[in-house]
Structure 1
Amino acid sequence: MRSTSQNGLRLVWVYPDLLSTYGDQGNVLVVERRARQRGLDVSRLDVRSDQQIPTSGDIYLIGGGEDRPQRLAAERLMRDGGLNRAVANGAIVFSVCAGYQIIGHEFVNDLGQRQQGLGLLDVISTRGEGARCVGDVLADIDEPLGLPPLTGFENHQGVTHVGPTARPFARVRFGNGNGTGDGYEGAYKDTVFGTYMHGPVMARNPHIADHLLKLALDVNGLPPVDDQWYEALRNERIAAATAQPA
């Protein structure tokens, strides 16, 4: 991981003009807030789709989007190449829904065509033929990450298959997740993460934001902060998920 000591922690919100549905921009706000609560020097850059992706960021966050904006975002990111170069240099990526599909090998675009993704994560996404996956989700995050249960909101038609060089991010208790029927949600490898969870997911799961910060800073722990508001929201949404019919 590159050092953050000289210029502080650098957060990059990718294409807010194309990929920012269901409050996903809240993710970068939560990461920024929790860094500042620890007294960290943080700079944030919102990069629109007509701008180049900088390669000097530490944490890149990508949200969800509708089908056509997803295609446009993928085309621009492929041409730009900055995100791939940043990951090659050790940067962290956290992506949601359409962003999750984009960082994989391929997905089905709004024209019904298979479209090449960035190949940052070993996943392939297709379009589901059944009912759309909509509703609250509760899942257990992959044990090696050492994080508490995941809560989020899904709204997608996509089905994402996790390849052998990635690990599922979580195992679903309630909800659909990747839509493959195997009970998995999201995927990750090293510093690249993908999930279908909106919410925004960082507001529901601030420990994920802290995990990204620890990766960026290359530390095992962070000073505690006041989590009263986050825990109230988590408890409310977990209760809503468990109240759903099985």
Structure 2
Amino acid sequence: MSDSSSALRIVWIYPDLLSTYGDKGNVLVLRRRAELRGIPVEEVHVHSSDPVPAEGDIYLLGGGEDRPQILAAERLRADGGLKRAAERGACVFAVCAGYQIVGESYGDDDDNPLPGVGILDIRSGRGQVRGVGEIVADVEPSLGVGRITGFENHQGRTAIGPSATPLSHVVKGVGNDDGQTEGAVQGQILGTYLHGPALPRNPGLADLLLRWRVGQIPPLEPSWGERLHEERLTAVL
């Protein structure tokens, strides 16, 4: 965890720009699953007018429309705090618009390439077909998460470069626009198109982020998160 505090520092980036799909749910579930294990948490909300602290442990970015996405990317690049945090080994969890802008480049609303933050080796643009609906994917086995479920609503297409690997392989849905992979991972940086929000629907993903920052964590008794996860899988497949 952060050297400056004994608490796990969770940083929610730009809720005023990147929180179109109930992304605060990711913050709440991550905090709750940490606290149930006795891990103290400090929650920091960073609005787009604020500097991004480089001393956090887990950084969360959510979804947004085209113009807020462009503004968020510009401010994050100019600020530099998120990139400095990633370079020192912090964990980053980025969803949809957030997923695209932490990459090397992304497309604006006319599919003109714009520079991203450059902490994940992906390049995104606009596809021909919009991915809308439930998605199910099997996470790379070495991550120990299993099958994930979510809701996708994007026209983005994302190509993964050699420094990153796919987060998962699609069972049902569109994903990165190839119908085969969904999301990407590079070190402790994880991006995905999954909404729902992703962590309430997939508590295993939340626990992966916690393991990355605090090491081994004790299991929790199955609760509503696990039940929601199974209900969604059963409904879709």
In the other structure, the counterpart of 2:115 is: 116
Q: Indicate which of 188, 197, 201 corresponds to 1:200.
A: 197
Q: Is the Cα contact below 8 Å between 1:138 and 1:175 reproduced in 2?
A: yes
Gaps in structure 2 of 5+ consecutive residues: none
Q: CA deviation at 1:180?
A: 2.2
The aligned runs of 1:112-191 (5 Å cut-off) are: 112-130=111-129, 132-181=130-179, 183-191=180-188
Are positions 1:228 and 2:227 aligned together? no
1:60 partner letter? Y
The aligned runs of 1:25-104 (5 Å cut-off) are: 25-104=24-103
Change (3 A) 1:83 1:119: same
How many angstroms apart in 1 are the aligned matches of 2:141 and 2:40? 31
Which protein is richer in strand relative to its size? 2
**1:168 partner SS:** strand
RMSD between superposed Cα atoms in Å: 1.3
How many angstroms apart in 2 are the aligned matches of 1:35 and 1:228? 14
Q: Is the Cα contact below 8 Å between 2:2 and 2:55 reproduced in 1?
A: no
1:207 partner letter? G
Q: CA deviation at 1:22?
A: 1.5
How many angstroms apart in 2 are the aligned matches of 1:157 and 1:6? 40
Gaps in structure 1 of 5+ consecutive residues: none
In the other structure, the counterpart of 1:11 is: 10
Are positions 1:216 and 2:213 aligned together? yes
Q: Is the Cα contact below 8 Å between 1:71 and 1:110 reproduced in 2?
A: no
2:183 partner letter? G
How many angstroms apart in 2 are the aligned matches of 1:103 and 1:6? 26
How many residues end up aligned between the 2 structures? 237
**1:128 partner SS:** strand
**1:190-245: CA deviation from partner (whole Å, max 9, x where unpaired):** 1100000001110011111111111111x2x3122232211211111112221xxx
Moved over 4 A (4+): 2-5
Q: CA deviation at 1:3?
A: 4.6
Query: TM-score scaled to structure 2, two decimals?
Result: 0.97
**1:9-38: CA deviation from partner (whole Å, max 9, x where unpaired):** 100000000001221111111110111111
Query: TM-score scaled to structure 1, two decimals?
Result: 0.93
**1:129 partner SS:** strand
**1:38-88: CA deviation from partner (whole Å, max 9, x where unpaired):** 111100001000000000100000001001000000000000000000011
Q: CA deviation at 1:150?
A: 0.8
